[in-house]
Amino acid sequence: MSTSLRVIGYVRVSTSKQDIGPEVQIADLTAEAARRGWELDIRREDAASAKSLKGRPVLAAALADLKAGSADVLAVSKLDRLSRSVADFARILEDADHQRWHVICLDLGVDTTTITGRAMAQVTATFAEMERRRIGERTRAAMATLPPETRDRMRNGGRPSVIDPATVALVRTLREGGATLQGICDRLTAEGVPTATGGKWWPATVKKLIVSAIS
């Protein structure tokens, strides 16, 4: 590959005093550009969060230019200037591969213009996949500790319960007739009466309907 790469040097300036300043980032990128003969175009984003890629118009414009072929490389001095999410970084690497541009992250040694740098990128993507799987496992474990009716509600987007008044009346009548909470659940399920969330009938749900009807 030609040494005269068109490189977008992305510099992010945050309000955190612990983050490295723009002067240091620019100096790192400029020194690397001089060493490698890059055509460097510095793009500066002020006070943008690194937690995700959303709400960062300068970065969005840079990515659009790379996709359009107006530049060859996106370079940052440190990974956290681009994103603190390894998963987001892995998605950028994937886009770069599909759209035929490159990523250089000076502090990690990621440089997809080289064989070694591409290997580092693959390692990063592997850890991102591990991170996603761990998050999924933690989420499933947390869901398993919740009451079943709460899980149903969360799977439905947390929308408030809205039950047909006729169903509420039926539940109250069955309860006054001596039916147990589980018995009412079984009756409603057998008759195909829908819940508010489309999930299963649970005794706790039936109890809430009875209490709300009384109040």
Instruction: State residue 126's pLDDT score.
Output: 74
Token output for 203: 């005794």
Q: What is the three-class DSSP state of 74? A: strand
Q: How far apart are CA 106 and CA 128, in angstroms?
A: 19
Token output for 168: 């509420």
Nearest to 199 by CA among 213, 212, 188, 210: 188
Helix 165-176 and helix 203-214, axial crossing angle in degrees, nearest 10? 100
Instruction: State residue 128's pLDDT score.
Output: 61
Instruction: State residue 1's pLDDT score.
Output: 45
Q: What is the three-class DSSP state of 6? A: strand
pLDDT string in tens for the chain (215-residue length): 445 899 999 999 876 655 678 999 999 999 999 999 999 999 999 866 655 677 789 999 999 999 999 999 999 998 888 887 777 888 898 899 999 999 999 988 889 999 888 888 778 767 766 766 776 777 677 767 766 666 565 555 444 456 778 888 888 888 888 889 999 998 888 888 888 766 778 888 888 888 876 65
Q: How far apart are CA 164 and CA 177, in angstroms?
A: 20
Exposure string over 161-180, b if 16+ CB within 10 A, otherwise e:
eebeeebeebbbebbeeebe
Instruction: State residue 11's pLDDT score.
Output: 95
Q: How far apart are CA 122 and CA 119, in angstroms?
A: 5
- Which helix (H) or strand (E) segment is 175 a member of? helix 165-176
Instruction: State residue 159's pLDDT score.
Output: 45
> Does this model's pTM top 0.85?
no
Placement of tokens 């992250």 in the chain = 105
Residue 8, strand partner residues? 41, 74
Q: How far apart are CA 5 and CA 185, in angstroms?
A: 68
CB 209 within 8 A of CB 188: no
| Catalytic sites, residue numbers | 14
Domain ranges of the chain: 6-137, 148-214
With the CA atoms of 181, 182, 185 and 191 taken in that order, what torsion angle do they form, in degrees rounded to the nearest 10?
-120
Specify whether domain 6-137 bears CATH 3.40.50.300. Answer: no
